[in-house]
Every structure is written in C-alpha cells, then in structure tokens.
Structure 1
Amino acid sequence: MDRQPTLETERLVIRPLGEGDREALYAVASDPGVWEQHPIHDRWRREIFDRFFGDGLASGGALAVVDKRDGSIIGSTRYDKYDPDEGGVVEIGWTFLAPRYWGKGINPEMKRAMLAYAFQSVALVEFRVGDTNYRSRNALEAISAVRTDRYELEKYQGKRVVHLVYEITRESFERGPLA
C-alpha cells in the first residue's frame, strides 16, 4: 500500500506532505485551540511542532489536507503503521484541521476518501486517540469507528497518556455512514 497517495474529494486534495509545507502547516498548528483536548497539548509551540512535523515526514505516510477552492493547507493527516499480513491493517491518525473547518463535514469527507483508498489494500483500519480527546473520539464514533478494549500507555511531560484504539473493518465501512 502506498501510504502517500494523492486523493481528491469534492472540496479537498489530500496529498503527500513535503518540507515546503512546514510554514503553512505551522500557521494552522500554531493555534492552541487545535490541541486543547489532545494529549500532546502543546504542539502549537514551534519546537514541539517542528519535532511532530519531522516525525511525520520520516513516517513515510504524512499527508497535507488542501482546500481546493484556494489551494491553502488546512491541516494534516497520516497513514501510519501498515502491516500487510492476515488481510492487512493500517493506522490513520495524527489528524488535525484548522478550527474554521470544524463542523463543516471536512473530517468525514477526508476520512471517507482515506478509508476507501485503504480498503483497496487492507481489511482493517485502526485509529489511536487520547482518552480525553472527546472531539476526536466523537468524530470517530460518527463515522462508525468502534472502540476496542485495547489501549496504549505512554508518558508525556511526566504524565500518563492513554490512547484508546478504535477500528473500522472493510465490511463495516461498506455498510456504514461513509459508504
């Protein structure tokens, strides 16, 4: 599976993220409100964002989300952990959008395109989301992602961070609200 495709929807172009996108994406990420529910709540800080951006480039799956109307970068997302065995699984995550695009159907539009593309190669898509990130949890549940009983524990700035694991199967996608 190519984890850096170019996908197009009615309102968006989702394309590989490149070094030349750093400043435009930081303009979106520099709003502390974007990160207020996220476990890594200080990604608006330049040095934290630069580390996040570099990790995205190194992942081989980072994508820029572009508004087709004016060509502006409005956020980012990523295809990450890919395992082709047993039908295949890929993770979608690290998604954030400019607040002015919240509540306008952009996230479901983007996820529909990403899931449709992923299910050409895999049987399962996973998402990891901070347990207190209710905005992202609600967005996942709205597209019929199911919370599993799995979770991951990490530490950030000396505090425990819990990431819940959600998933969508190819079959549930085909029957769900994004089909």
Structure 2
Amino acid sequence: MNFSLQQPLENESVKLVPLKNNDFDALYQVASDKDIWMQHPNKDRWKKEVFQLFFEGAIQSKGAFKIIDKSSNEIVGCTRFYDYQESDKSILIGYTFYATKHWGTGLNPSVKKLMMDYIFQFVNRILLHVGAGNLRSQIAVGRLGATKIAEESVAYYGEASKLNFIYEIKKEDYLSVS
C-alpha cells in the first residue's frame, strides 16, 4: 500500500481528521442519539458500552475519521476506509454516521466525494456495506452512484453478523460523472 488510510482530508465544508483515542467522549456525544441507529443493524449502538466497542474497532482499523463541520468546528460524525484489498485494488468505505441535525443537508455527499476523490487515486473500486433494513443509507449510496452487487452477513467488530447489502462504485464510472 503506497497511500495512507488516514490522510487528513478537507473541502469547503468539512474536515476529515484521523480518529484518536481521546476523541471518544466528543464522538459519543453525537452517537448517543437513538435516532441515528433506528435503521441500523445494531440499533443499540447509542448505548455507551456498545458504542465503546464500535469506537475500539474504529481505532484499530487505522482508517477512521472524525468528521468536523468547518462552520461550527464541531464533530458531526465518523466514517472510515477499511479492508483494502491490494489484489483487486478495492477498499470499503463505511461505518459512517452523522448527527441527525445534519441529515438531508448535503453533508454525506460532500464527505463521500472527498473520500472518493482521494482514494480513487489508488484503487479501482469502492465497496460499501449497508444494513439490509437501512433504507436511508441505501438511498444515500444509490445517490452516490453505487450499485447493489450482493447480499452478505457481515460481523461488525465485536458484534454478531447481520445481513448487509454490498454496493460498488467503479473508478471509471465515478470519473465519468465527476
């Protein structure tokens, strides 16, 4: 791998800053909202002990970011790169969540474009896991140009397997519409 999974990234509205151990309390302030997890396969992630497991997985992934709204300088969510596969030049983007006050504001497309513009310098395809019952996220990744290619049980870090849909965005398709 000749690139960093935690390259700080920034555009006009957000900063993606590598997640650190001391970010737990500030990120949990966002994640403790039950509404964030309503459609997620792990509906109790708003609980501190459950979120702690998610956070540990994020730190261990060495690809996680806190998302900072530049207008307020507040942490508004989290996302990550993970499971880079050198053999087929693919990577996953996921484990993303946002404060509910930022839903429908264009934050997700802005964050994902920032990530895709960076990572497509090094990979040919991006995959995304989306919970089978998470209609909000399925619609969001569809708007990014992702195509559903499979269904698979996925075990999130330290959690039981849950049915996820696998979406794909190919570099050539992304570049043709960017």
TM-score normalised to structure 1 length: 0.93
Match of 2:65 among 63, 66, 71: 63
Q: Secondary structure at the match of 1:85?
A: coil
Q: Deviations over 1:98-155 (max 9, x none)?
A: 000010100000000100111000000000011100000000001110000x221257
Q: Secondary structure at the residue paired with 1:49?
A: helix
CA distance in 2, matches of 1:154, 1:167: 16
Distance 1:133 1:24, change over 3 A: same
Q: 1:84 to 1:97 in 2, by over 3 A?
A: same
Instruction: Give, in angstroms, the shift of residue 161 of structure 1.
Output: 2.1
Report 1:80-91 matches (<5 A). Answer: 80-86=82-88, 88-91=89-92
* Pairing of 1:135-174 with structure 2 (within 5 A): 135-148=136-149, 150-154=150-154, 161-174=162-175
For 1:100, the equivalent position in structure 2 comes to: 101
- 1:84 Cα shift? 1.6
**Offset of residue 93 of structure 1:** 0.2
Give the distance between the partners of 1:160 and 1:12, measured in 2 at CA. 32
- For 1:153, the aligned partner's letter is S
Distance 2:151 2:78 in 1: 23
State the 1:18 CA deviation: 0.6
Work out the CA distance in 1 between the residues paired with 2:174 and 2:62. Answer: 25
Q: CA deviation at 1:15?
A: 1.2
Alignment of 1:113-128 (within 5 A): 113-128=114-129
In the alignment, the residues of structure 1 paired with residue 176 and residue 46 of structure 2 have an alpha-carbon distance, to the nearest angstrom, of 37
- Please give the TM-score of this superposition, normalised by the length of structure 2: 0.93
Q: 1:72 matched to which residue of 2?
A: 74
CA distance, structure 1, for counterparts of residue 45 and residue 113 of structure 2: 26
Alpha-carbon separation, structure 2, partners of 1:85 and 1:42: 36
Alpha-carbon spacing, 1:147–1:19, altered in 2? closer, same or farther (3 Å) = same
- Partners of 2:47 and 2:73 lie apart in 1 by 25
What is the CA–CA distance in structure 2 between the aligned matches of 1:92 and 1:119, rounded to whole Å? 12
Aligned-pair CA distance for 1:94:
0.1
SS of the residue corresponding to residue 122 of structure 1 reads coil
- In the aligned structure 2, how far is the partner of 1:14 from the partner of 1:155? 25
Number of the residue aligned with 1:29: 31
Instruction: Report the residue type matching 1:139 in the other structure.
Output: A
In structure 2, C-alpha distance between the alignment counterparts of 1:155 and 1:128, rounded to whole Å: 11
Aligned partners of 2:19, 2:96: CA distance in 1, in Å? 13
Q: Distance in 1 between matches of 2:19 and 2:161?
A: 30
Identity percentage over the alignment?
37
Equivalents in 2 of 1:9, 1:115: separation in Å?
A: 13
Alpha-carbon distance between aligned partners in 2 of 1:64 and 1:44, rounded to the nearest angstrom: 17
Deviates most, 160-169 or 13-22: 160-169
